[in-house]
Amino acid sequence: RPVLRSTVSEIRPASSSSSSIVGNKKMRPSFKYKTSSGYYGNHPSDEEFAPLIRSRQPRRRKGISNHQGKRNNGFCRTCFTFLCIMFGGLLGICVGWLLLAISSSPLADVEVVGISNVLGTQKELMFNLQVRAKNSNWWTIRMTNTAFSVFASSQFVPTMSLDDAVSPEPNMTSFGADPAEFLGTIYHLEDPLIYQAGGLFRPVTSTATSQIQIKNPGATKDDNSGNERWSLLIRYPYELTVRGVLKYQTLPFMPWLMQLHSARVCKMSRIDPATGKISDDVSMPEKSICDDPSPVEGS
């Protein structure tokens, strides 16, 4: 069938004029020329009416979506790295603590080596307790929990008060060092005993001092007779005895997971209130408080 088509030559004429007009229309580039499938009433399937250059479909702008995906991936990688670091740190702490717990060892040769600076009145008893121990760990160890009792005894105990004595010499009765007057029990040290850290395979022996203070020595909730006997006892030379246990833990970290160690101690010193002299050279009787096999309170 005959087809009418308006064709514009794409070949420039040989003439020098490059701005000729064909059919009162300017030449247009072929990529801007468009035809519609229904132009001139022809069937849309006719290939002759297909555009010479296909129209380009607009590209989808993926820049924003790609940037959003990269940002999400970076955030996930950061979270994963942070979790790995946290897990590695916790694992390292647990392994280190386990190695310390395995390598730790309790104190050795724990003993009270002296009692000094004794100040005794009816209302208060104060003295310094010196404890020596050997530490083979490479960190310091502190002692704060205790369960030891303090006793006082005298070979000469007056049977009456000096104010009521008729003769200038009071009536004295000779007794042995036992039985002793109970003065009180210490459960916590205000000044902890701190032992120096040892080196690698080289234990260090050190002496720590703590001040002990007892209010109203010998008195109980319902009985003050012990405090009255103490007030008579301190007028003469007497023996001061410390007996009980010292408690500590080898690791200062996570103390609730560590075993509580204890060391039994006993020390007797002679106090002369008149001169203030303190002597550790005390002749032990056949049976003393330190030889008592009964369990110590709180041990």
198-253 pLDDT, tens digit per residue, is 877 789 999 999 999 999 998 888 888 889 999 989 999 999 999 999 999 888 76
The verdict on residue 125 lying in a domain is yes
98 and 217 both lie in a single domain: no
Count of the separate structural domains present in the chain:
2
Least confident of 51-60, 84-93, 220-229: 51-60
The verdict on residue 211 lying in a domain is yes
140 and 190 both lie in a single domain: yes
205 and 254 both lie in a single domain: yes
| pLDDT, tens digit (0-9, with 9 covering 90-100), for 276-290 | 899 987 776 656 677
How far from the centroid of its chain's Cα atoms is residue 69's Cα? 42
Least confident of 65-74, 111-120, 239-248: 65-74
Q: What is the pLDDT of residue 176?
A: 44
Hey, what are 140's tokens?
Answer: 């310091």
| pLDDT for 109 beyond 60 | yes
Give me the half-sphere count of Cα atoms (radius 13 Å) on the Cβ side of residue 179: 4
| pLDDT for 7 beyond 60 | no
The C-alpha atoms of residue 265 and residue 96 are separated, in whole angstroms, by 33
pLDDT band of residue 17 (cuts 50, 70, 90) is: very low
Cα distances (Å, whole numbers) of residue 252 to 92, 97, 142, 248, 259: 18, 11, 8, 10, 11
CB 155 within 8 A of CB 282: no
Q: Tell me the helix, strand and coil percentages in the chain, rounded to 5.
A: 25, 35, 45
Cα distances (Å, whole numbers) of residue 296 to 195, 279, 285, 291: 24, 25, 20, 12
pTM above 0.85, yes or no: no
pLDDT band of residue 21 (cuts 50, 70, 90) is: very low
Q: Specify the CATH number for the domain of residue 153.
A: 2.60.40
Q: What is the pLDDT of residue 154?
A: 85
The C-alpha atoms of residue 143 and residue 194 are separated, in whole angstroms, by 6
Q: What is the pLDDT of residue 77?
A: 82
pLDDT band of residue 26 (cuts 50, 70, 90) is: very low
119 and 221 both lie in a single domain: yes
Cis, peptide link before residue 179, omega less than 30° from 0:
yes
224 and 114 both lie in a single domain: yes
pLDDT band of residue 18 (cuts 50, 70, 90) is: very low
The verdict on residue 264 lying in a domain is yes
| pLDDT, tens digit (0-9, with 9 covering 90-100), for 139-162 | 899 999 999 999 998 876 653 444
Average pLDDT value for the chain = 75
Q: Which residue has the higher pLDDT, 140 or 65?
A: 140
Give me the half-sphere count of Cα atoms (radius 13 Å) on the Cβ side of residue 204: 15
Residue 92's domain comprises 77-105
CB 269 within 8 A of CB 288: no
